[in-house]
Homo-oligomer: A and B are copies of this chain.
């Protein structure tokens, strides 16, 4: 049994991290850190967990958390993350950071897209971007993992095989995504309204051309193919709680057929590389309802020859494969457990 702590335990992602840990056979929850609600039973803060977890949240220093933990999930953002991560690492803990702060080696990318100064540039050399399907060996050896963004996971898993195998042009990639509202967390966001009356019976894009996940999608695709394709990324909000459906478009190289593209997907997403990626036969079989509360990402590809486009659909649960489940998958790799341990046979 390893000891695992969560910094930021009471947000939507924190709650999902706690849930995935509760069912993991080799993890013992050490500390649940929540500054603003320290000292309260978790079941009072997260009522669905009454009777499931008897721990109370605590206030603690990074050094204290590191001492009590083998692995720490850090579910904070910006300045708070920069305050936590150095001390956790210095104390010897492995850290899986859920926010965007440790995904890019180059701080300039972070600063340009997140509009914040990076407070831990010296740590970026050692950070590893944790998409297991593309970066498994590096994750296994990492002490610090930047857990990928939810949209990013859906977009990169949709396009990686096509780019890695050189089946499509690098130019003209489009990622058109729709997300449920758990992606926005439990905060009121007046600039991007998330009241029920704003979202119910509505669909709307946001962040067109400047969403923070754009450079990370491009980084993932670069990792997959060794080149540097650009992506047009358009995220939308849809009236559901969980899940991202991505429809991606690419320009096929001459001779590409649906069958060849499907073969490439199946060859790429082997059981070893990608135990949680399910390659389906039809684009219209990819549905959020099939992946919600699981760590799976379903994908399917179709070449529309009459109009010259490759269409890929991918679906995942933003809180699971897009956050907490993927974090546990990374923990499994970092700690030498089976990659799927605690992630199959469950809803999450």
Contact = CB atoms under 8 A, between A and B. Distances in A.
B345 A22 contact: yes
Copies of this chain, count: 4
Interface string A293-313: 110100000101011110101
Contacts of A345: 22-23, 52
B241 A307 contact: no
B346 A239 contact: no
A330 to B, nearest CB: 19
A281 to B, nearest CB: 10
A115 to B, nearest CB: 17
B308 A243 contact: no
A273 interface: no
Contact of A286 (B178, B204, B230, B243): B204
Nearest to A275: B51
A223 B84 CA distance: 57
Interface in A304-343: 304, 306-309, 311, 313, 315
A201 B22 CA distance: 24
Nearest to A310: B232
Given A247-B236, A307-B232, A288 B344 contact: no
Interface of A: 12, 19, 22-23, 47-48, 50-52, 171-174, 176, 178, 180-182, 184, 186, 188, 190, 194-209, 230-232, 234, 236, 238-243, 245, 247, 249, 251, 275-276, 278, 280, 282-294, 296, 302, 304, 306-309, 311, 313, 315, 344-348
